[in-house]
A and B are shown apart, each in its own frame.
Chain A
Amino acid sequence: MRVSVEYQALAPIIILLAAGVLSVLVEAFIPRTLRRPIQLMLALASIVLAFAYVVINATAQLAGELITNGGQVKGLRQLAASDAVAIDGPGMVLQGIILLISFVATLLLAERQIDPQGDAFASRSSTLPGSEDERQFTAQGWLQTEIWPLYLFCIGGLLLFPVANDFLTMFVALEVFSLPLYLIASMARRRRLLSQEAALKYFILGAFSSAFFLFGAALIYAATSSVNFSTVAVAMENASSDGLIIPGIGMIAVGLLFKVGAVPFHQWVPDVYQGSPTPLTAFMSAATKVAAFGALLRVFYVAFGGMRWDWRPMMWIVAILSMVIGSLLAVTQTDMKRMLAFSSVAHTGFILLGVISTSASGLSSTLFYLLAYGFTSVGVFAIVGLVRDASGEATHLSQWAGLGKKSPLMASIFALFLLALAGIPLTSGFVGKFAVFTAAVDGGATPLVIVAVTASAIAAFFYARVIVLMFFTEPPVDGPSVVVPSAFTTVAIGISAAFTLLLGIAPQPVLDLVINAGLFIR
């Protein structure tokens, strides 16, 4: 078989991976003091360029027929790299979302004004926490610029993950974005032991879930003699026995549900969100979730779409558990980052409603939710990173008391994000929830929606509690304050807040976009 490589369709992925390689070379050949600005420029430029290519590809496809069955469209094929990658409407939307979020997260990673010692990452992650070496490197102002190549590879992997059209490509993408995340998660500047513990947990559990994914893919291959999604789908319809298929679907689901952080595969979420450097938490909670849900959607809509009657009951249980346990445990948290982590688990449950619908409206509403949630989540963690005292971030809830009086603007924006997470009308979160719930009711999942609404009510309580804490309680005497960030973080928070409001008040253009994106190519 002649291997075809459609460079233009694959351009966004190639650009990011190439930038990653370049970034390694920068580390090798550029003097230490110049590395950071060059790396930052490289990252931003590659993200912008990749986004431009996503737009070009999308325009090209819109100019031709929107959905073709893998046929030739204006010199661009929806299936690229010998059917290993599917650059279709939803795929491009997902890539666009990931790139937008990455752009904002890059600004957060670049911030070095809020911590007097430097950026959010350890000066030298190879030094022992608390050691004399660490002290010296910190005093000399070293920066661990190696995060940048890791970060770029990670985005490259994320871009490939939701457009991968066979299980092996998807697995490769999974590893490409996971490994850098494991590493960067261990590199927090403050509370390094917590950070390293989180990274180790993430790595071990992540490796475990990857193994599940791979094993599932092997079982599917055994049953259908293919790893390609559309071939698998056809073969499943004709398969005589489910003996290998059902376990295969289950194991692949475990691998993907781990990445999205659904109950019962959520145990890593609070630890990793809490321990990681906050800019990375922001990135992970948004971009990784979008990519993982993109992959989950593609696998369960395309490859396992015909088997929906078999996997739906399982997904129902996972969705219900995620919503209920996520919301309930969030109520009991006393740490801001852990609370937001459990809230993220609950949101995973909400988004799963869109996956369960397996309909056009289910797909488009999930895409909208991902965009809305992604920006809100980045924004929320960006502000969490700003509330600090002498020892670093002040994440205990009691330390947030009275913040609304100390810095009303930041507290108001934070309240906006919380309201969006709670799904209050006129915020993006509400429109997202509304879209997903509507799709679910339409798909016959009314009981799930009732659970979702109840979970939203529980969730509203803990979000409201934080707002009350910020605005209606007296600040503690030696409490933390909101650090004034540099332009990077300010712009990042501004973009996130703008999207959160805009998608709440005038969501129609984006709704048009996700609806016109059409269906996954088969």
Chain B
Amino acid sequence: MLLTTLMLIPLVGAIGVFLLPSGKEKLAKQVALVFALATLAASVLVVLGLENTSGGLQHVESYDWIPAFGISWTLGVDGISASLIVMSAILVPVAIIAGWWDVESSRQGTVKGYFALILVLETLIIGVFAANDLFLFYVFFEAMLFPIYFLIGKFGGPQRAYAAMKFLLYSLVGGLFMLAALIGLYVVSSRELGNGTFDFQTLTTLNIDPGTQKMLFLGFFFAFAVKAPMVPFHTWLPDAAAEATPATSTLLVGVLDKVGTFAMLHFLLPIFPEASKYYAPAIIALSVISIFYGALLAIGQSDVMRLVAFTSISHFGFIVLGIFVMTSQGLSGSSFYMVNHGFSTGALFLALGYLVSRRGSKRIADFGGVQKIAPILTGVFLLSGLSGLALPGMSTFISEFLVLTGAYAVNPTATIIATFGIVLAAVYILWLYQRMMTGIPSKEVEETVTEISKRELVAVAPLLAILIVLGFVPQVALNVINPAVEQVQTYVGVTDPEASVSMEGSGS
């Protein structure tokens, strides 16, 4: 019942916020924050309750929903999903605090509506990470679109309607392919077992013939690649991230996009091991393309929010790379990367959001010399930027390093190419810093930009603290993640390759 309760807390909060009289905006925000913090507390309980010795699902609960189709309400977490749930539960209150004054009631939407939507979204996020019935997962996966759609479409920049629609259509199309594959999987399971099922653990025991596996794999992979997003299915993300409010962008890029990579790791590999191995080289190539394409386009952006969105596409390349090399280092690196990326991109979006809301412009060229006026804000930006480029000492470094080490054992060529992505990361972050923060402040910047406020600092400081702490003691997170990674490897039937580098070096 723990996980269902965890889902109910934000949902109750959302209903409560929505039912408040429309004049009481402050109260609505406070109630939303209280429920978000309560969810955070409960999510910590979930992680503390995990047995670290076992990589299997824990806190499992299962109730029949539509027995005619073998559909059940099955929730359960392993180390990976639990850490992602905690990451989301941290980002939601942070987004609420950071977005305290983001929206005003208008004809488009009310303040309480905004915060209620965020809480609804949190419920669905927890659901999507905890669902272990594929059908249930699909329902949450699709249902998540709607709060996000309204968050972008009602409370965003001038192009928000277009961005929201683009996001919705991309996701719906991806979702429909997943639906087709889901139906196929159901039929396969009903042929093999007599009764069709969507239960994740049962599905991993199926022996699906390789041809069918490949077909079904592609259906699922397409949906997840759109969600992640990977090049070439990525074009919705920069639009959505640029038009949404910074708090929404934080949740969108920081949490929602993880659903795609999480699902690849959690569902695709265990259920379709053969197909995963078959397509791994192609997907690795695609991920390397994503790394470079995202980084290069980030360098070329003139809009800060779009820039961060493109850096994320590059980061997702690393995550997917780590997943599909299927070594323990790669997998745990990717899992850890997902958590870190949530915090790091979140911090970056928030810091830039503070700047953008002061200056009233998202164009990089409109800034310059901010460090003279707002040194603390600049420092916050610098720290989040450095974690974005995976500086040693930040937790992002650990995960990126793990991914690359894990990948090298399997695919050295791809890994060496991917390593150059780090150089590009330094370019897009440091050049951005140079253009926005250094130099002589223009008259407009002097007039508009002010130092970070206490509320803003309270929102972003926990993220930076986590990034630094996990950078020095990554074991806290890795201990939770690693058993789950081993479990995934067992499902796929892979073991880590012997360290062959030294062998080659000393070879005959």
Contacts and interface: CB of A to CB of B under 8 A. Distances in A.
A452 B188 CA distance: 19
A425 interface: yes
Interface string B63-84: 0011111000000000000000
Interface string B21-49: 00000000000000000000000000000
Contact of A425 (B143, B168, B196): B143
Contact of B169 (A460, A507, A515): A460
B468 interface: no
Given A431-B66, A460-B169, A453 B179 contact: yes
A305 B179 CA distance: 29
A274 interface: no
A271 to B, nearest CB: 30
B142 A425 contact: yes
A507 B66 contact: yes
Contact of B143 (A426, A438, A515): A426
B176 A508 contact: no
A450 B66 contact: no
A457 interface: yes
B184 A446 contact: yes
A434 B165 contact: no
Nearest to B65: A508
A407 to B, nearest CB: 14
A464 B173 CA distance: 12
B86 to A, nearest CB: 26
B138 interface: yes
Nearest to B138: A425
A460 B176 contact: yes
A434 B69 contact: yes
Interface in B139-174: 139, 142-143, 153-154, 161, 164-165, 168-169, 172-173
Interface string A428-442: 000100110110011
B454 interface: no
Given A442-B190, A460-B172, A460-B176, A434 B183 contact: yes
Interface string A449-467: 1100110110011001000
Number of chain A interface residues as a range: 20 to 34
A453 B143 contact: no
A449 B168 CA distance: 22
Contact of B139 (A425, A461, A472): A425
A457 B173 contact: yes
Nearest to A449: B180
A454 B177 CA distance: 8
A464 B150 CA distance: 12
Interface in B187-213: 187, 190, 196
Interface range for B: 20 to 34
B443 interface: no
Contact of A468 (B66, B68, B142, B165): B165
Tell which of A425, A431, A435, A449 has the most Cβ of chain B within 10 Å.
A425
Contacts of B183: 434, 437-438, 441, 449
B68 A472 contact: no
B161 A472 contact: yes
A512 interface: yes
B463 to A, nearest CB: 32
B336 interface: no
B298 to A, nearest CB: 30
Contacts of A315: none
Contacts of B190: 442
A441 B181 CA distance: 10
A224 to B, nearest CB: 35
Contacts of B153: 468, 471-472
Nearest to B172: A460
A424 interface: yes
A487 to B, nearest CB: 27
A508 B65 CA distance: 8
Contacts of A32: none
B66 A464 contact: no
Contacts of B154: 472
Nearest to B109: A471
A217 B184 CA distance: 38
Interface string B95-118: 000000000000110000000000
B186 interface: yes
A511 interface: yes
Contacts of B164: 472
A308 interface: no
A457 B176 contact: yes
Contacts of B186: 438, 441
A354 to B, nearest CB: 13
Given A472-B153, A508-B66, A508-B67, A464 B169 contact: yes
A508 B68 contact: yes
Contacts of B176: 453-454, 456-457, 460
Given A425-B138, A425-B142, A438-B187, A405 B107 contact: yes
Contacts of B69: 434-435, 438, 511
A435 B186 CA distance: 11
Contacts of A442: 187, 190
A214 to B, nearest CB: 39
Contacts of A453: 176-177, 179-180
B161 A468 contact: yes
Contacts of B143: 425-426
A464 B145 CA distance: 12
Nearest to B186: A438
A426 B136 CA distance: 10
A192 to B, nearest CB: 38
Chain A CB within 10 Å — which of B68, B143, B153 has the most? B68
A511 B68 contact: yes
B247 to A, nearest CB: 20
Interface in B211-234: none
Contact of A441 (B108, B161, B187): B187
B169 A461 contact: yes
B68 A515 contact: yes
A461 B171 CA distance: 12
Contacts of A468: 153, 161, 165
Nearest to B173: A457
A512 B68 contact: yes
B139 A426 contact: yes
B138 to A, nearest CB: 7
Interface in A152-184: none
A475 to B, nearest CB: 10
Contacts of B184: 441, 446
Contacts of A507: 66, 68
Contacts of B177: 453
Nearest 10 pairs of A and B residues by beta carbon: A511-B68, A425-B139, A453-B180, A441-B187, A457-B173, A453-B176, A460-B172, A457-B176, A437-B183, A425-B142
Given A438-B186, A472-B164, 5 more contacts: A425-B138, A426-B143, A449-B183, A453-B177, A460-B173
Interface of A: 405, 424-426, 431, 434-435, 437-438, 441-442, 446, 449-450, 453-454, 456-457, 460-461, 464, 468, 471-472, 474, 507-508, 511-512, 515
16 contacts: A405-B107, A426-B143, A434-B183, A437-B179, A438-B196, A441-B187, A453-B176, A457-B176, A460-B172, A460-B173, A464-B172, A474-B107, A507-B66, A508-B67, A511-B69, A512-B68
